[in-house]
Amino acid sequence: MQSAEWKEYLNLIEERPELFRSNNELNIVMDYELVREFEKNTGRKIGIVYQSRYNLLVVDLVENTNGDRFAYERLIPAVKKGAVIAIPIYEGKFVLSKQYRHAIRQFQYAFPRGFGEKGISLKENLKKEMKEEIGADINRVYHVGAVVADSGIGSNQVDVFACDITKPQLKLHYEQIKEIKMLAEPELVKWISEGKITDGFTLSGYALYKSKEDVLHSDK
């Protein structure tokens, strides 16, 4: 009899086959008898071992080119697409929020971002996040690319948008956001070099922005 974790896993394979494509470097073991044997010998569960409205914690049984089998954890977004990073710009300055991040138990300066949500588009999610996190509306928006911040464990591809916005307004006590900071680009670069900005999404988003800067300016 198949476990609940394995049944959910099979459903995920059917719904999102791109996450299970064949690869000779690390082959995903799909023989359930081999999976059961591995679980019995190691005490590890294979399949979807946890899920929330935002993420699925998936444990694959994989086999490398030497024939070794081991469990590999992946964090997969519950919604296939829709996660966004905003690079807000107000009167020529970059807008960041100072937000408490539970995972690292400290505050970080970062561009606004949000998980994908069912039933809303990328642009709708972008507008929602901007309004919720920094109290601003979007005047113009430019898609600058997409990033995967940590492909060692996560599969979440996040779309990055540069946004000309209205004046930001701090919403006290919303999602542990303590401050809104507006930085001219030389100061932003200085903060990055000094290690004041360490958020991976913010750093990769800014790198994408710089790579498209000439195109973005020519459209204005």
Q: How far apart are CA 15 and CA 22, in angstroms?
A: 16
> Could you say which of 77, 95, 118 is where a domain stops?
77
Residue 42, token pair as written in the block: 């190691």
Contact by Cβ (8 Å): 117, 111:
no
Question: Would you say the pTM of this structure is higher than 0.95?
Answer: no
Same domain, 164 and 185: yes
Note whether 98 and 199 are same-domain residues: yes
- Output the tens digit of pLDDT for each of the chain's 220 residues: 889 999 999 999 999 999 999 888 899 999 999 999 999 999 999 999 999 988 999 999 999 999 999 999 999 999 888 899 999 999 999 999 999 999 999 999 999 998 888 888 989 999 999 999 999 999 999 999 999 878 888 888 899 999 999 999 987 667 789 999 999 999 999 999 999 999 999 999 999 999 988 767 666 5
User: Which domain range does residue 183 map to?
Assistant: 84-218
Same domain, 129 and 182: yes
In the chain, the amino acid numbered 45 is K
Based on C-alpha coordinates, what's the Rg of the chain?
Answer: 21
pLDDT computed for residue 217 by the predictor: 67
pLDDT at 90: 97
Distant-in-sequence, close-in-space partners of 111: CB < 8 Å, separation ≥ 6: 85, 86, 87, 88, 94, 95, 96, 97, 199, 201, 202, 205, 206
Q: Which pLDDT value is given to residue 219? A: 64
55 and 99 inside one domain: no
Q: What is the CATH number of the domain that holds 153?
A: 3.90.79.10
Domain boundary among 59, 77, 95: 77
Look up residue 130 and give its amino acid: M
Helix, strand, coil in percent for the chain, rounding step 5: 30, 35, 35
Q: Residues 69, 30: one domain?
A: yes
* Domains held by the chain: number: 2
Same domain, 90 and 52: no
CB 61, CB 29: distance < 8 Å: yes
CA dist 155 and 149 (Å) reads 9
Nearest alpha carbon to residue 125 among 140, 133, 114, 135: 114
95 lies in the same domain as 198: yes
Same domain, 18 and 100: no
Q: What are phi and psi of 59, to 5 degrees?
A: -115, 115
According to DSSP, residue 154 is labeled B
Residue 91 and residue 141 in one domain: yes
77, 98, 127 — which closes off a domain? 77
